[in-house]
Amino acid sequence: MTDRLDESLELLSSVVCFGGQQNQYQHRSAVLDCTMQFSVFLPPQAEQHPVPALYWLSGLTCTDQNFATKAGAQRVAAELGMALIMPDTSPRGEGVPDDEAGAYDFGLGAGFYVNATEVPWATHYRMYDYILTELPELLESAMPLTELRAISGHSMGGHGALMLALRNAGRFVSASAFSPIVNPCECPWGQKAFSGYLGSDETSWKAYDSVELIRSGATPLPLLVDQGTADNFLDEQLKTDRLITACEVMNFSAEIRYQPGYDHSYYFIASFIESHLRFHAKHLGLR
């Protein structure tokens, strides 16, 4: 599965998993101006022909490894013939700025999938362009992947997945999220990140806000959201009801499910990841 690899990709580790390969790579990102790591699960079908991919965006403090080791997604992905692409959550490395106080919700591990415009963040914190363009172009030229893509994520990554899909009609065939930050313009996590990365002009924030994008007439696509009712971030940070209201007002079809008793953890993700993979498989032409 590695004979097509671009010379700019360095394979860091590789293990056999459900008949496929769970690999970790690093490369020099021109968009982020730093060295980035990411993980890829290639199902066994990739030995025979190119396969479509699901991009998974992780949440605050995470790296490319959280989903790979905790979600249990590879079994179903191997059955379906779906690649899993797991990027990091922010630029990293020497010279990449971080929050001076070492906060978990800004700086390293907290890129929020935006293109920063403010100093000193603008040079490196361009995760929007990295996920939308640079990483797919690199992988689709170097690995047995088709140009069919779906996208999903958790918390901050759920925000990124929904927002990227809503802003770029046709780029992803479907989108889903667990516990997403759906209205970051109106919650403490989003307000802190957006004011730091994008500046004080709140009108510019709306381009990265899923509720605002739907209110503004975003092109519909297949969309699935799961939210646990025991999630301690639900009321202050996640505000799922605002997404439901926006979809109802705009007649935007989406399946948004409250799951009783589930929290914000990877136990929640592991419990429902199979239904998300099968949801995306239908739109990727796999089932």
Helix (H) or strand (E) holding 176: strand 175-178
- Are residues 239 and 183 in contact, defined by beta-carbon separation less than 8 angstroms? yes
d(CA 190, CA 167): 18
Q: Please pick, among 27, 154, 159, 264, the residue that the annotation labels catalytic.
A: 264
- 120 preceded by a cis bond (ω within 30 of 0): yes
Q: Say whether 155 is catalytic.
A: yes
DSSP letter for each residue of 232-252? TTIIIII-HHHHHHHHHHHT-
Q: Say whether 231 is catalytic.
A: yes
d(CA 243, CA 257): 11
Tokens representing 128 are: 């929007």
d(CA 46, CA 23): 13
Q: Please pick, among 155, 174, 179, 210, the residue that the annotation labels catalytic.
A: 155
d(CA 61, CA 105): 8
d(CA 160, CA 112): 7
Phi/psi for 259 (5° steps) reads: -110, 110
Count of beta carbons in the 10 Å neighbourhood of residue 260: 7
Q: Say whether 154 is catalytic.
A: no
Q: Please pick, among 226, 231, 276, 280, the residue that the annotation labels catalytic.
A: 231
Give the amino acid at 72: G
Active site (catalytic) residues: 155, 231, 264
